[in-house]
Structure 1
Amino acid sequence: MAVLMTNSSRKTVVALAVVVVAAAALLASSVSAAITCGQVGSSLAPCIPYATGKATALPASCCTGVRNLNSAARTSSDRQAACRCLKTLANSVKSVNMGTVATIPGKCGVSVGFPISMSTDCNKVS
């Protein structure tokens, strides 16, 4: 069965489709705005040799990652997610020295607003 559409009906359908696509894109961008563990891991990967004592100097790429991650974590929810991911990452890396890890943001000139420690309650990070 064929449906006949007038020019104005077609324009209405196209306009509605555009609105639906725009709304979906907006929704998707707000959902994807949260910090992911993938972002945390890739941002901080250059820091691992320093955090494990395999490098004596803090690489510039580590500080770049720390700064980028700090800039990306704009909301309390982002910072809490980054905190949880950091703890997970620290647990997965053998020989990580959490004392050294805790000094990295300061050495990079970044204030993260919460202590870098395995005992930090990430749910209380604001």
Structure 2
Amino acid sequence: MKGVGVCVLMVLAMAQLMVEPTNGFTCVDVAENLVQCVNYLTGADAKPVQGCCDGVKRVKGECTTTEEKRLACNCIKQAATRIHNIKDSAVTSLADACGAPLPFPVSTTFDCNS
């Protein structure tokens, strides 16, 4: 569990370096909203905790323009590549598991600019 905490801090630190403001919406915001999803994304939890789903819903609510959708997509994709032992199936199913489908496919391989 200690390793997961270190990983989360690293993701947040990396997100801070990739800040791209769009009406105040940044990669840091995305990372902070999704930090409670790490256990689900690595398979430590069978389903996402409520705090994770609340974060997914906040991210979804922030994605109103095409630019914001691309930003959120790229932020999620970049953060996912930095989480050790991430399960691609969990990344893909996260938004649906929270009952908050995002306006773009969540995948480590999706082209967010398409």
TM over 0.5: yes
Matches within 5 A, 1:16-35: 33-35=23-25
Q: What letter corresponds to residue 72 of structure 1 in structure 2?
A: E
The CA deviation string for residues 33-91 of structure 1, in whole angstroms up to 9 with x for no partner, is 15311011001100001110122232000100000110011110001001111111001
Q: What letter corresponds to residue 71 of structure 1 in structure 2?
A: G
Displacement of 1:102 in angstroms is 1.1
Write 1 or 2 for the structure with the bigger share of helix. Answer: 1
Q: What letter corresponds to residue 108 of structure 1 in structure 2?
A: C
Note if contact 1:37-1:82 (Cα within 8 Å) is conserved in structure 2.
yes
Q: SS state of the match for residue 115, structure 1?
A: coil
2:55 equivalent among 60, 65, 88: 65
Matches within 5 A, 1:35-114: 35-114=25-104
TM-score normalised per structure 2? 0.76
The CA deviation string for residues 21-41 of structure 1, in whole angstroms up to 9 with x for no partner, is xxxxxxxxxx65153110110
Unpaired segments of 5 or more residues in structure 2? 1-20
Displacement of 1:107 in angstroms is 1.4
**What is the percent sequence identity of the aligned residues?**
29
Question: In terms of Rg, which structure is larger?
Answer: 1
- What CA distance in whole angstroms lies between the structure 2 residues aligned with 1:120 and 1:57? 23
- What CA distance in whole angstroms lies between the structure 2 residues aligned with 1:35 and 1:51? 23
Unpaired segments of 5 or more residues in structure 1? 1-30
In the alignment of these two chains, the number of paired residues is 94
Displacement of 1:94 in angstroms is 0.4
TM-score normalised per structure 1? 0.69
